[in-house]
Every structure is written in C-alpha cells, then in structure tokens.
Structure 1
Amino acid sequence: MLFIKPSWLGHFDERNEAKAIFSVHISPDGSRLASGGFDSKVKIWSTKAILEEDSNEPKQLCSMSIHTGVVTTVRFSPNGKYLASGSDDRIIIIWQIDLLGHNFGKMFGSNETNVENWRSFRRLIGHDNDIQDLAWIHDNSILVSVGLDSAIIVWHGSTFEKLKKIDAHQSHVKGITFDPVGKYFATESDDRTIKIWRTSDYCLEKTVSKPFKNSPSTTYFRRPSWSPDGLHIAGANAMNGPVSSVAVIERGTWTSLINLIGHEGAVEVTSFNPIIFRLPNTNKEDNKIMTIIACAGQDRTLSIWNTMNPRPILVTQEIAEKSIGDLCWSPDGLCLFLCSYDGSIVACLFDKDEFGEPLTAAETEKLLSKYGHGRHGTVLPESTAQLELEAKTNEAEANAHVKRMEDLMGGIEPVKIDCTSNETKSEILNKEMESTAYTEKCQTTLISKEPQINTTLSSIPSNNIHKSVQQKVSITKDGKKRVTPQLLSNLSDAPIENPLSGSLLQTSSEEQKPAQTLDLSEPSYALPKGGIRSLIIGNKRKNRPEENEEQHTFQKKGKMKQTNDQTKIDVPEFIRPAVICPSTSVSQIRLGVPKVITFLSMYVNITNNTLDVRNGTGEHKPTRITVTKKGNILWTEFLPKAVLLLAGNTLFWAVGCEDGTIIIWSPHGRRLFPSIVLESSPCFLECQGPFLMCITSIGLLHVWNIVLESSPHPPVSLAPILDASVFQSSELKSAPSIVSASINSLGQVIITLSDGDGFTYNAAMYSWLKISESWWAVGSQYWDSSGFKGTAGKSGIIAMLERRTDDEIMKLGRGRFLQKIVKSAMLLEGYESFETSVSISHLENRLSSAAILHSPDEYKTILNVYTRKIAEENMKDKLEELCMYLLGPILDDPYITWKPKVAGLDKRELLKEILITIGKQREVQRITTKYIEALQELNKSTDISTS
C-alpha cells in the first residue's frame, strides 16, 4: 500500500495555517473528493490530481463558502447529482453542479480559483442545534440528518421536503449509516445506544445499548458503518470492559458478539469498504467472502480489519497529529481517504490483489437478495412511448403532491398575483407582503370556508370590541423594565364568543370523525370483555352422551351494605343467567349466551329514536318494549319472555329473545313477520341496511334481508373457523373466542376471533374466507398496526380487520415472540426471499379481500402499492397477468365471461392508473408499452363504434 499526503490538500486561512477538517466523502464515479472544515467552507478536489503526482488535472475544483459555521459533514448522493453538507449553523445545503454556469474564476475576496461551478440548490432548515452527520439511501429517495438537538430528520430525496422528525434519542446524535438493502438505517448517540429504524414506516426496530455502556462522551463524532453484505453494523466508541473497541452488531438478532480491540483511545469513525471480496486462492463454489473495515479515532491510529481474521491486517499509528474525524472509501475499494483535526487529508492506496478478488455486481446483488434487495442497473428507454409515460408519471406525482399540500393547508387557496411587464420586483414583493397581511387578517373567512359560522360580529357586545389593555410595567433593581402578563380571560366582564375559535373547534371535531361512515354494523354493546367464549368438539370423535357437567352457568350475587342501621340491596347487573336450550348440550359448538339484563337500550342517530327494553319475570310481569323520540313515546309492546339482544336502524327494529325467537317491527311498531324461531338462544344480533344477522349458541350463522323477506344463504356453521378439524378428542375443548361479529349493507358477515384471525363468509362460494391473520403481522413489511387507509384517507373494512388482529396479538403478548422466530428464520439458507414473498402474498390477500368485500377505496390503494412492488421486484409474469386481468378481452367473445368491474371500479380505468404508477420502472417498460397501446386501440374502436 501507499500513503499519499499532498501539502496543498487541506483547508488553509489567509496566513496559510491549516484548519481542522471534519468530513470527507468521494463521489460515486470516484473523480471528486469533497471536504468540509473549520473554515466554514466546502471544497471539492480532483482525486486524479491527488493520486497521480504528475497529473495536469486542476487540483481544487471548487470552494463554496455559504455556510456561516463549521462544516461538520459532507455527503454525495449515490447518483452523484447532489452534494449535501451540514454545519453547526443548523442548516443543510444541497449543492448541485451547474454545467452552464459562467462565474468560473476567482472567488470574491479570495485567491482561490473555481474550475467547476457548484450552486446552492436547496437550504434545509429543521434542526435546532449543530448537524453532526448525513446519509443517503442507496436509491437517492431519502436523506437523513442527525444533530446535537437529539433529532433525526428524514428528508425527501428529490423535493427535499421534511418527511419525518424523530425525537427518540436522549442525547446528542452523532452518526448515521444506511443498510445497503435500504430497509433500515442506524443512528448512534451520546445516550450510549445505537437505534435501528425501519425505512418503511420510520419506526424503531431495535435499540442496542450493551456494547456502549460506560463509553466516553468526549468524542466529537460517533460514526457507525454498515457492511456491504448487509450482515453487520460497526458501532464506534464501544467498550469491552475498560478497553475501547468497535462493536460489530449482527443483522436480525441485533446482538454484538464480536469486538475489534486494539485502539488506545475512543474510536470516532468506522467505514466499511463498499466492495465484497473473495478470499485469495479460493474457488467461487467455496463461497468464502469477506468484508473490509477501517477504524480511526482519538488515538490518531488507523486500523484495517477483515471479517475472516481476528487480528487487524493493518495498523498505522500517528498517521495524523490530531484525532481522525472521518473516513471514506473509493467506489472501487482500493483507496481510503481520511481527514484529521490537524487540517490534513491522507489517501491510502492499495494494490489490486491486496484484499482479494472483488465480487462482481451480479454476485453482490445475489448476495443481498436474501434481504429482499432489488436494485437494478440503469435501464435505457426503448421507445418514445416510455418517455411519454414517464412524463405522465411525473405529472401525476406532482399533482398528488400539490393535492397533499392542499389537504394539509386546509383547502386554503393561495393568493394569485398578476405580474405585468411594468411592475418591478420590489412592487411585486410589496404586493405579496400586502397579500400575506390581508390573508392573515382574513384567516377567519378562509378557515371557515365549509363550516358556516353562526356567530357574527353583531352578536358580540360592543363594550368588548377595541378594548384597550392596560399592562402593568415595573422596574427591577438592575434598571430593566418588566411587563406583567395579563390573563386574557379577565380582559372583559362579558364572555366573547370568538367566531374563529368556533370554526376551528368545529373543523377539528369534524376531522376526528371518519371521512366516510364505515359500511359495517357497530360492535354489540352486550359483548363481554374478551368476547363470547366457545367450546368445541372435534370432528373425529366417538359417539357417546355428553354430561351436563360441561354446562357452566355463572351468577353474580347482590351485595349487602349496612348504612345507618338500614339494609340496602344493590341492583344486580343482570337478573339471572339465560336458560340454556336443550339442543346446546348435544351440539358440536357451544357459545356463551348473554345474561338476562334488567334494562337494555339502543339509540339510532339518524331518526333520534331510542329502543328501551325492561325485562320482566314472565307472564305475570311481562317484558316492556318502548320506542321513544326526544322523550315522547312512539309505541309500546309487551312480551312474555326475556330479551337478550337488540338491533335496529331506520328500516326496522329487532330483538333476540331468551327462547331463541327473533321479533321484528317496522320503525312505527308494526310487526313485519311472525316470530322467527331459531334452534337456540342468540349470542350476536347485528344489522346494517336491510340485513339482519344472528349467531346462535350452537354456532349457526343466520342472515336475512328484511326488506326482500329472503336470505342470501342457508344457515352456516362456525365450526370451520373455530378449528373444529384440529381437535381429535370427543371431549369439549376451549376454542378461540369470538371478539366481534359485524355485517355490512351487502349482507356480508365479518368475524374476528381472539387469536387475531378475521373471516368473512362468501355466499357465492359457500365458504369461509380468512381475510386477516397474525402471520401477516410478523412476516409482512406492509403490516401496519394503525391500519391501511384508502386514497382519500378513509379507513376501510380491511384496515379495521387488521387493527383488530393487531389488538388481539398484542393482548396475547405473541407479537415480539413471533417476530423473533421469523427474523431468525430469515437468516437461514433457503429463506433469502422470505420477507419479500410474504409481503407480496399479504398485498395479494388484501387485494382479493377488498374485491370480495366491495371496498373500492382500499382496492385502488392496495392495487397501486402491489403493482409498484411487483414492478420493483421485476416480477414480470405477475405484472403481465394482472394487466391481462384488468384489460380483459379486446374482442367481444360470447364464450368468454369477463366482468368489466371489480369492487365497483372500472377495470380498464384501474389499468390506466397502474400503468402511470409504474411508468418510471424501465425494467418492465415492454409490458407497460404493450398495454398502453392496447388501451389506445380499444379507445379508437370505441370511438368508431360510437360514431
């Protein structure tokens, strides 16, 4: 190897004294080296001039001095388009080379000459203290910054808007590194932890603290590094007992079993070589690969290690006069640059055979594929149609961004200013300022565009308008004035009703409600905590009589309290347990029956009607049923039996009785049917639209269309979803409880069990379908406990089911245990594509479920996510199949049955949308171009037939 330390390479002041350099980074093409230092400048150097002594290349390409503080970090974007720099002035500047610039030459007030022109493209403001480190994801989609304000900020990689601010660390955050796959990034802080974050939702994956206990907080940086094979994170400033070390954290388990020991001082920076090497003199079949890591810090020592050797392959002491602050490797992995606080930059040049044989790009891609890695090389457009499609995709993304901003701004339209040729810039600026001031004055009108304000200025007492506020001013001992704050509520005697605050309160309350009422019956008020318990007998059992001992009924006794020598009896919550139907004792399924409660009530919002039931004790004291509206009795009826459950809406009222009968009335109290007699007592009674659903205690599901006086399907048993086929014994076994049962306006039933599984019954297929299960929660990267939202931010049925599943998993405490098992399995051979495969299956399950449950908003959203995912993973067969499904037959064929709509949406319109969604994915451009042409031909034929 060769050390190169040019005397001209550094940051110098007017007296030619070297200033500290805190960061260096090399461009993706290896031609430029950026540095940032104490002189508040960002400098770009020619690497060819550094490495070749006789090179005629210009040495310094550019010097930028916009920062007003010390430049602490510089990082090129992976595509080389941008250079990001952070400083202790709390600002991030995104630089971009201006190839058409004409201001080359000497900088104003300086003797430095610029060969290239780099201009400030964006200024990112968001940190409240010094910025310590920056990192780009491999596909340039996001940039993450960390600083001394303990904050982590995620920025968009092209628009540079702030996407997320994370305040999770308890102290200064001094380093960040990205997973080469792009699924995680890791941040290291003075709180002596490394936190691993998911890039899918920016949530915490794991906190690693054990290797960093008792580590010193005197280091200026804690810069970790992620290995190019994605398997390890090197954590700086770790401790192994009393000795400084570098902690090597393993992916998946996030534990540190390896420490690199040898540095006498704290290690401030680690950097993995971007190339994966094969051991010398080994065959490709042996698969003996290794990665190279460089470490440096306060002891002014550089050490280089490989993962196949317990000892360092290189140790260079006193390579600099002060601490080493940053390291970076060239793209080919044969040159290492380091910078020091003494103002020097050193290049370490290695021979080609010094590390071993480098893996090819294809081999690296294959190695990373086990983590779901799907990066592809640059693909050129094959036709002008592809370029047109990409333009449409960019336009659609821009429109979506504008719409999102309008939603965030509350629908306030910006003030437009017409600029004529006679107006100067200052006049336009004055107009803008006036418009802004006017907008602030009129914010009441703008905010309350939709909600109408009933309060007017005339309703405010005149003595409360323009009332001056007399503030008390006192002078302290040191001569300073102190103004005593006044309480706003005491400024007037009469209360003022503020129209602006009223509109804001009204708007916020409206926002808290769902944008669209979920087409699903509300959970039953009679449902006990933990759901309805179920007992089940396996399908494979011996025929023998069941004993009545298996029937368990429970009764709470009223409590006696003695107060002032008088005995008071508390009214019990229920009168008695319900009488069990004899058929239950011989049934394969036995569900818990609600107790007979003294008083039941149900309210319908739309009609403001209330159904009240006061249970009696029999024929001598019958049950009284009353429907009232605002306190006025509309109708009353009496029943000689106890009522267990209520249901009702604008179309009918229904009650489920103890003896297994269902009685239905019209809204005005007219009996619509004779009593519906069921085989046992009802456990669930729900309604939505014209449909009424009942589940009985022997596990039979009934659904009726009250308006049409029909049923969409015969009574259905719940045995399949309660795992009846699993049990082999003839004895009663405890099965999962039913925690919720609902029905939508199409008569589709949705049931969630206590094990987290969610089901619906498909009447057309006469089968139960599993919509949601705990497997997706631990195996899919698209699982989100907050639910999946539609295009308009409306929560749908699929989202609700997945939230219920997540709640049940958390109640059982199985979430972390299952995740640990799955993540351990991902590291085994043969499971390389585990997460990707499960995630795609999860999206496909969501998609088909949204179609079956007729949820159009969710279907459209999931379809876009699914299409983008299979395009990114280059699954051309699945993409082609999906496009064929949505396109349908081009020619009318009476022998082909094709439905033009799915979930109420036009399939060909959906095809247009997804083609625009994946318009930038050039790997699948042949598929997208083919179906765009097919849609154009269909439009032409439609126009001809219409004309």
Structure 2
Amino acid sequence: MRLLKYPLELREERLNAVTVIDNSLLLLSSGGHVIVWSVNDLVDTAIDKLSIKDLARKKMLPIKFNKYKKNDNDGNGNDTQAFFLCGVDQTLIVASDHEILKINNWNENNENSEFKQDVISSYKSPCIITDIKLDTQQLLLFVLCSNINSIEIFDVKNNKRLTQIILDKTIKPITLILDPSGNTFTILCSDRSIRVYQFNRSGNYKLIKEIAQYVHMEPLHYKITMPPQANYLPIINSIKGPSSSSTSSSSSTTTASTSASTSNSTFSSTSATTTVLLDRNNNYNVAATIVSPASNSCKVLTFSPAMYEKKNLKKNTSLRYNLLATSGVKDGTILVWNTKRMKPLFNALQVSETPINDMVWSNDGLTLFAVSNDNILYTFAFLPIDLGEKISNTDIIELRNKNIILPPLPDKNVVETDIKISEQGKSELSIEVPNHNKLKSETPTITDSSVKNITSLVKKIGKNKTQVIKTLATNPSVKVTQGSGMEFTPPSYIVPKDLKRKVKEEANGTGLPPPPKKSKRELEPMDFLDTGLIIPNISFSRIRLASPKIRMSFKYTPSTNKNFTMNIKNGSGNEQKPTIISLNSKTSEQDNLLFQDFIPRFITMCTSGKFFWACCSDDGIIYVYSDSGKKLLPPMMIGVPISFLEASGNYLLCVTSIGELYCWSIEEKKLKFPRNSVYPILSPSLRYSDDILTRSENITMCTVTANGVPLITLSNGDGYIFDKDMEMWLLVSDSWWAYGSQYWDTTNSSIFRNVANASDGKSNDFWNASDIESVISDVRGDSSSIVNYMERKTNDELNRKGRVKNLQRFARAVLMKEGFENMEEIVTLAHLENRLLVCLKLEETDEFSKLLVIYCVRLGKLGYTDRLDDVLQWLYNEGDIEKPVLRGKTRKELLKSVLLACANIRHVQRVTNNYATAIGLIEETI
C-alpha cells in the first residue's frame, strides 16, 4: 500500500464531499467548486510513476456552481455551503443545505468552466437538507429534509418530484442508506429509529421494516454505503438494545389452550455504541459487529464496490469477503475492515489532524480516497496482493439475485405504513392508504387492524425470551387500525389443581418412562374457589388467545378518513380517574372535538365502521358510538378479554381470548350469524402431546369484509372465511395448492409460477388465444382481490419457514414419479374450483366471471367433457337463464362468455353446440 497526501489550496473553503464517476475523482468544496482529477494519475503519483508537478499540471479546471459563491446566502442571513456531491455518467448533482443543483455534460472540455445549471429543488429556512443519495440504476434522487421531516424522491431526468414521505414531527431523518440493487432505502433518524422502505421507478414506496437496532445520531452529514451484493445493511453507532425490541405485533399470537406473546420493550440508553452489519436475508439480524478501537463514534462508512476472494489451495476452498473503510467524528483515523475477520486489515491511526469528511473507493476497488477538514486529499493505493483476488461482476449480480425478492409495488396508489414509538415506550401506528376510485362499491374489501404491509408473528422460545418474526403482506384494499401497533399479554398457563401430566407408556406396555426430553414450562396449578386471579371460563376453555396490553394513551385514525382521530387516555381503571375517550375532526388545520366520554375502565382497542365507532375494555365490554357520540347500543358484556376488534361497513367483528367469534350488524342491531368458535381451524391435534396444554397454529390476521364475512389466516399459511349460511369455516388458501397448482397466487408469485411451469413445459400451450391471455392478465392484476391477498400470505409463510426449496424439489421429482403424471392438472383444477366457490361466497362478481372462463377453457383443453357439461348445466339452470348468479351477471351472460371461449376446442363442440343452440348463440353469430 502507498499513501499520497496532497494538500489543496482553497481560500476560506473546505472539502466536504468526494465521489468517483467512471475514471474521474470529483472533490466538492464548501463554495460549490468541483475539482476533477484522474484516478489513474493519482494512483500513478502514489506509486511513484508520476511526479507531483506533473500531477498538478493534469488537474482539470474546476466546475463552478454559481449559486454557491462565497457571498451568496439563503435569504435568511445564513451562509450557504455545498455539502453533497453525487452523479452518474454525464449528470452531476451538487446540493447545499437549502438547494439542489444539476448540470449535464459536466466532463466536456470547457475552458470557461461555464455550465448550464438546473435547480432540482430549493427549500427555505428553517427547512434543511440533511442528506441526498442518487440511485444510479433508476436515476432517482433521494432527499432528506428536516423541520418538515420528510423524504422526497425526484426523477433526475426531468427534475420532477415523484413522492414525498412525511414523517412525524418528532422524527428527524439524519442520513439515508441506498440499496445498490435499487430495491430499498434505509433512513436513520434522530429518535434512534431505523426504517427500511421499498421503492420502485415510479416513486412508489412502502415501509417494510422497522429495525430494532437503536442508533445514536448527531445532526451531522454522515456518509454510509452498502456492499455491492446488497445483503448487509451497515448501521453505525448502534446502541445495544434488548433481546427483543419494541416492534409492535400486528396480530395476536394465537394457540389452542396456550400461546406466547410479544416481548418487553425495555431500552437501555447507557449501552455502548458499535457498528453492526445486519443481514437483510435473515430478518435483519446482526451478522457481524465492528468494535472500533477509537473512542469516538463513526461518521463515514463506505464499502468497496468490489468483492474479494481468498483461495486455499491445500483445502481446495475459497473465502469471499467485502472490504469497508470507516472513520470517526473527532479524529482523522481511517480503518479498513475485512467482513469475514472483523479486525482492522489496515489502520491509518490519526493520518489527519482534523476529522475525515468523506471517503470513496475507486471502481476497481484498489484505491481509497479521503478528504479531511483541513483540505488534504488522501490516496491509499493498494496492490492486488494486499486486498485479495477480485470476483467478477457477474458473480456479484448472482449474489444479488440470491437476496430476498420483495413483492413488486404497483405503479400507482402509494401505500405507506409508519410505526412510531410514543414517549411512554408504547407503540402507535399511523397509516396512509390510497384512495382506490376504481374499486366498485359492492366489492368486499378487507379492513381494519389485521395487517397492511407488516404482520408480526410472535413465537415463544423460552421461559423469559421471545422472538418477533415479521412477514410481508401487500394488499392495497387492507385498512389497518391502531390494533396493529399493540403488544399482547400471553395467555395464562394456570390449570385446575387436580389435572396432572401423564407419563407416556412405552409401546411394549412396560410402563417405563420415556427417554428424557427437553424441559417444558411447568404448569401453575391453583384452586378456583373464591379467587379473582383468573376467570374460570378461560382456564377451562379449549382455546386461550393473547389479549392486548393496556397502554397509557393511544390514537386511532381510520384509513378511510384521515380527518377523524379517536384519542384514548387510560386512567386508573376506576371511578377516581376514569378513562377519557374523545373523537376529533380536523378541518382547516383546526381540531374540533366531536364528542367526549368517560369510562371507569381500561380501553385496549378501538375501530370504526361506516357510521359508527367502537372500543373495548380489558375486561371484555364493548362500547359503540355514532359520529356525534350517541350510544348506538348499550355496553355489550362479553365477559372475557377481547383479542380482535374489527369493523367494516355496517359490521363489527369480535374475537375473544377464548376463541369465540361474534359478528354484529350495527345497522340492524343483531348478530349476523350465531356465535361461533375459531377452534376448528387451529388444528391443535397436529401438535398434540401428553401435556394438558398443547400448541396450535398462530392467528396472523383476523378481519371482516364490508359484506360481513370474517377472514382469518394462520401461521401455517392457510386462510379461511366463515360461511354464515352453513355456519362453517371454509378453506380459501392452502399451501398444498402452492405445491401443485399452475395458477397459484396469480398476482404475485413469480417463484411459484416458475416452479410450476418448469415442471410442465407445455402448460402455456393451453392459453394461445389472445382474449384468454387478457382474462388471465386481468385476474393477475386485480390488487383488490381477497383471494389473491390470502394466497400471498400463504406464500409469505412458505418463505418464512424455508419451504420454497421443498416446493422446487417437489416439482422436479414427485411429479415425475409413476402414477403421478396427471397430479398437477388435477390439483390445478381443484384450486380453480375452490377459487370459484369462494368468489361466490364473497360475492366477487368480476373475479368469478373471469375465473369461470379460465376454468372452463382448462376443462375443455384437458378433455374433462363431463365436468364441463356439469358447469354448463348449472349455468343453463333448466332454461331459467335470466336469473342472476351474482349482482350484475345473469346466467345467460356467463354461459355465453364460456361458450365463446370454448368455441375453438374441437373435442367439446358436441357439448357446447347444444347449449349455444338453446340460447340462440349460433343464430346470433351467423
């Protein structure tokens, strides 16, 4: 390694930023001057191939940004300085703390150094730009602003602002970390929080993760980058937090007879700060920790754009690793780290007397450039033998493709979820939901506090330790209430005193105890006479669900109308200090109090429907109000704590902690169907043991549609709806269909479709007609489909449990076995039939009519003539074809669309011609 220290003569200015574009090194001064050097010339000078005098003569003329001359100011008496520099190809962007400028064709040889400048955006005090980053792949510029506390996304080509993400007033964004693969960006905030967003080319975004790794951020200009393979997220100045953070659970963890719940949200502010690398493919868990020998916190962390490999010829193995450079806030020490060793590979101890303002690697990964506060350019020229052998860019792209694939975002209707932590340490949730004008009023939509972008599954790991596992779920039609930001109290493990664990006997009847097993949590026997410690009906219930913890205060804003806010301030739970419930309406930047109520109990959840508001207490009492505060119903006494309280349209759904399901029509003031239980769908027998309490599947979502249909999804991926006519739970999505159906998750399952298509190369031959392809495309693009949404949640569970590899193995091996040749087509038809039946129950008219055409064409192509005849007979209905099947679609219309779609299938024409003649379709066509 060779070091070149080159002082720059800058009068009353200092070097603030440095970047590399192609083979040029660009330095930015506080006055807005950009000095351009050749990377090769600096390296040659460092290794003594070029003299200092020759280097000085080769320096290019500076690029002057007229806006940032010394005497310019922002109009408020503050000197304007340039802090940020980025660019790609012919585009160069320079920004101060109040303005962003762009020039094109910056590298043209212009002796007068005059370039045309475009103003991308400007901000007036007290708004200040805290960071900017440029996505070189999609040409999107990300800008962080304080005092309005927002994240703005610009299209660099036309200088147009695409998106503005408004954060809470107390959350000041400090710095942004950009994903080199162009999928996500991460912001580090002043409130020690970390937020990971997904974005796309059109500027749409979605909060996909709030990381439980607190950071200590000062109001400085930090410089942080990610590795080229984009698998590690570097977090500087990380404060060691608890084993589980205060990340909120968006749905109750549910078990039969017993369950686990979320962890405590304690936080120690006295813990030491370190730099950690989080593995984005492992739920952002800590993959490595960098403990710097310097006492000050980190300010600059930059990864090399190359990836290196060290081969062991004796063992015939190789080790791949990244290199990153770090520097602190106070001194001028530069450290280079190997990600596989986590020890400094190179230590330039106090190479500068002043702090390092910025660092950048050359594109080949062999040279590190740094600028200090005293205007010195440092060139660290490494030899290949110093760092290791570089891998090809193709290998880096392959590593990127192995990262978790996020569901693509829509081109319109931005969906954003923002979780915030209140002063009391309790979690709250504020949601932005798009206005879907295209959705018909009769289409049932999933609503309320189930999940929108994030669902949390909470599993018990030990006696005093819990783990929160998050999965993604994207459906723009889902409305999330404050229930998504709650913590849950685990169910009781108390059982009657006379119940004991039984010793399992051996199969030979010897009565010997079984081999020693892993120790389990001991039960807590107690008597039930004259005690108020536990409600007896909970202890003797077959189901025990987690119930929400009591928060000091929280707010709920319905996603359908952001102008209304219900405020809950819990008192002491008695008459001395009652709970205050108030509803506010915001008009013209003023809050108007619509009504207020006092209740001598603790309130845990609240929700809203079309014309009513509802909240529940910790002891199972539900209060229902009108918009003006009028009581629509007397307080409803459920008798046990409530785990889910949801509302949509005219309906209110309640699931108690003992698994009882209620669904009321508030307009009619009666039950929509008799009280039922969620016990049948939990499948406790799958995890049966000799213990009194047995585990079952977790409930990951519970909600209700606008037509009053309850929906529930479980941690095994299955989804259910409740049929009020049959008073029975019906299966909507099953992971078995993901293994065998060619049309599983038609909206977002590229992984599953690729596997299915790989198993049967002729599957696409059935869909040559352009009109059929159009129907399939419409079904795939229906983002409001409830079935599509539930199937995506099944995919999430398969991905979370690592069962995708089993699916691939299944597609390649099982389908090739003798006797299973036609299994794929049978499972595919079963999947389509189930979707049709569910659409009938949900009254999804458009989706049903499109799926019916796909299903019938599939039957015709496969030669299932009798089954196709059954469908046509059902539609013909003995000649009564004017009777509607669903709203807006008569049997004749559906029958006509099916017959036209199957007209070119020769071996079913004998069946279709009879029905076409009966309804007069052939004569009309002729």
TM-score by length of 2: 0.44
Whose strand proportion is higher, 1 or 2?
2
In our comparison, the structure showing a higher alpha carbon Rg is 1
* Structure ranking higher on relative contact order (CA contacts 8 Å, 6+ apart): 2
- TM-score under structure 1 normalisation? 0.43
